[in-house]
A and B are shown apart, each in its own frame.
Chain A
Amino acid sequence: KQEVTQIPAALSVPEGENLVLNCSFTDSAIYNLQWFRQDPGKGLTSLLLIQSSQREQTSGRLNASLDKSSGRSTLYIAASQPGDSATYLCAVIKAAGNKLTFGGGTRVLVKP
């Protein structure tokens, strides 16, 4: 059974600092991995999708890496801003189909 873990559960940083968010999964036979952002009481916003054949994906200040062999992905957010405060979730898709298995999320607070 695939398990996804995100540590730490919460993180507080001063504005301008780079954010490093971790995601680990137990079964390396994944199809792809997706990072999301969730604001309180809202739905999920897709940030980045990394296919299993890729090592990293970039979008603006965001960069996500994937190491299937070690079961890890890392989301980097450069030069954090207060608007980056949210919960960040990673999810993996194991095989055919679109079932996402989610981690518990990391709640991020960027202090001005």
Chain B
Amino acid sequence: KAGVTQTPRYLIKTRGQQVTLSCSPISGHRSVSWYQQTPGQGLQFLFEYFSETQRNKGNFPGRFSGRQFSNSRSEMNVSTLELGDSALYLCASSLGPGGAEAFFGQGTRLTVV
């Protein structure tokens, strides 16, 4: 059974650019959540999608957005990149909408220069 797949694994972008990250959840899982991990702030929740609807959103600026497709795959987009957006972005997949066990992908390491 395939796990959570995140692409790409590594990205280097320039300030001001935009970036799109992709997450394919475990087959049958309909909930996808996104997290940002930095040495200073730890793991912070970005947003959660279930059945193509955003159900929760963390305290991040509007430059961070996401969406979920009918096959449960999800993308997150960051526009007008800042140096502080450099981080490991992690996607979590869960079976259902409430309190199900979360399974994480390997993450996308974004470096903004």
Question: Which residues does A use to contact B, with CB under 8 Å?
Answer: 31-32, 34, 36, 41-46, 49, 51, 89, 91, 93, 96-105
Contact = CB atoms under 8 A, between A and B. Distances in A.
Contacts of A91: 43, 102
A96 B105 contact: no
A100 B42 contact: no
Given A97-B48, A98-B33, A46 B43 contact: no
Interface stretch (B14-22, B61-69, B75-83, B90-98): B90-98
Contact of B55 (A31, A97, A102, A103): A97
Contacts of B106: 42-43
Interface of B: 4, 6, 31, 33, 35, 42-43, 45, 48, 50, 55-56, 58, 88, 90, 92, 94, 97-107, 109
A43 B43 contact: no
B99 A32 contact: yes
Contact of A45 (B45, B58, B104): B104
Contacts, number: 70
Nearest to B103: A46
A97 B97 contact: yes
B104 A98 contact: no
A40 B101 CA distance: 22
Contacts of A32: 99
Contacts of A101: 45
18 contacts: A31-B99, A43-B4, A43-B6, A43-B90, A43-B106, A43-B107, A44-B104, A46-B103, A91-B102, A93-B99, A96-B98, A97-B97, A97-B98, A98-B48, A98-B100, A99-B58, A100-B102, A102-B43
B107 A34 contact: no
A105 B42 CA distance: 8
Given A43-B106, A43-B107, A105-B42, A100 B101 contact: no
A10 to B, nearest CB: 14
